[in-house]
Chain A
């Protein structure tokens, strides 16, 4: 089975721009969760989608949004980028809601200049 894939792997953006990251879960997995990983803050939960519905949301501003398509692929969008948004963004998929085993992708490294 193919693993979780994330595109792009690396991204450099300027403050004020917006960015869209994509995640394709393992085939058959219906839950996709997004995390922000930084050296100082560790792993911070952004949101989780299951069957195209947002089921859980972390404590991030409204500039961070996401969606899930009928094929379970997911995108997250960050608008009005700030320097502090520079991070590794991880996507994880799970057969059911994220209380079960999650499989992580390689991440998208976002640098905001």
Chain B
């Protein structure tokens, strides 16, 4: 079955640390890839997306993600996190076999000031 895995359910970092959140999917065809973020008390919002082209995509607030097709991965990165990055992060994948978005379980990120 098609699935999306986010390896870490909880991540705790100190401010200024580097961040990498993993996202892997199980599907060999064409994909559209998304990272969404939910800040405490706020709506889910799009952080960045990949449809085609340069596999390194940049999103809002200094986040970026790299699509590595051979590894079926779309990991989210940020060189230096801030306390305001505390949130839950969701990876989502659209596989060309259907129009449904498949969601990862989410990663809760806590940044210690």
Contact = CB atoms under 8 A, between A and B. Distances in A.
Interface in A88-106: 90, 92, 97-106
A99 B101 contact: yes
B45 A48 contact: no
Interface of A: 3-4, 33, 42-43, 45, 48, 55-56, 90, 92, 97-107
30 contacts: A33-B101, A42-B90, A42-B103, A42-B104, A43-B90, A43-B103, A43-B106, A45-B100, A45-B101, A56-B99, A56-B100, A90-B44, A98-B94, A98-B99, A98-B100, A98-B101, A99-B32, A99-B100, A100-B32, A100-B94, A101-B49, A102-B46, A102-B101, A103-B46, A104-B36, A104-B43, A104-B45, A105-B43, A106-B43, A107-B43
Contacts of B2: none
Contacts of B104: 42
By secondary structure, the B interface counts as: strand
Given A42-B104, A56-B98, A100-B94, 12 more contacts: A4-B43, A42-B90, A42-B103, A42-B106, A43-B90, A45-B103, A55-B99, A56-B99, A97-B99, A98-B99, A100-B32, A101-B34
Contacts of B32: 99-100
A31 to B, nearest CB: 9
A54 to B, nearest CB: 12
